[in-house]
């Protein structure tokens, strides 16, 4: 039996549980996930975690454009080829283009998801998480191994 995510049920979650549920709902195309996101946003539950923007927010749309651009993909792949998380290459592009808005209200999670989707589409294989360089606004991101049969390191 599926859990009914009412306001009370969501408020009873720990911060970590709510954050995990929120991230999973963001990544899901299930209509129930959209209902969860609406409840979380309507009752401003993410504010207790530092907030979170919806995908339709202007900042997230701008971030997605950068993450999915040819320049963003090239930066992500170069970082991955150099043994870093792909986000290490894209984070500076986002910071330069978006300024102080980048990093606010969980925007780095969105950026990491977009970069991960792009690099996976290029055949790279997810292999956990990695700390990003100190010059990055995001702190950790998904780490990837080269496509099978690729000569990349």
The number of folded domains in the chain is 2
pLDDT at 39: 86
- pTM metric for this prediction: 0.67
**What pLDDT digit, counting tens, does each position of 15-62 carry?**
778 888 888 888 888 888 888 888 887 777 766 555 567 777 889 899
Number of separate helices (H) and strands (E) present in the chain = 7, 2
Using alpha carbons only, give the angle 52, 55, 60 rounded to the nearest 5 degrees. Answer: 80
3-state helix, strand, coil in the chain (%, to 5): 55, 10, 35
Is residue 117 pLDDT above 80, yes or no? yes
Q: For residue 94, which of 85, 77, 107 has the smallest C-alpha distance?
A: 107
Residue 133 structural domain: 58-145
Q: How far is CA 119 from CA 60, 113, 132, in A?
A: 18, 10, 16
The answer on 124 and 71 residing in a single domain is yes
The confidence band for 123, taking pLDDT boundaries of 50, 70 and 90, is: very high
Assess if residue 2 is contained within a domain.
no
Cα of 44 vs its chain's centroid, Å: 20
Q: Do 38 and 65 fall within a single domain?
A: no
Q: Are residues 65 and 123 in the same domain?
A: yes
């Amino acid at each position: 039996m599926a859990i009914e995510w009412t306001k009370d049920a969501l408020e009873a979650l720990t911060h970590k549980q709510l954050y995990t549920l929120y991230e999973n709902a963001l990544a899901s195309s299930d209509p129930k996930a959209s209902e969860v996101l609406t409840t979380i946003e309507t009752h401003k539950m993410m504010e207790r975690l530092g907030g979170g923007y919806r995908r339709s927010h202007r900042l997230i749309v701008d971030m997605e454009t950068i993450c999915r651009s040819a320049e963003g993909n090239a930066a992500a792949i170069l970082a991955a080829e150099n043994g870093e998380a792909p986000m290490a290459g894209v984070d500076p592009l986002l910071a330069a283009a978006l300024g102080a808005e980048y990093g606010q209200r969980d925007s780095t999670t969105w950026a990491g998801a977009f970069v991960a989707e792009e690099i996976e589409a290029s055949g790279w294989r997810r292999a956990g998480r990695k700390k990003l360089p100190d010059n990055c606004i995001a702190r950790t991101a998904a780490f990837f191994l080269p496509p099978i049969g690729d000569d990349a390191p």
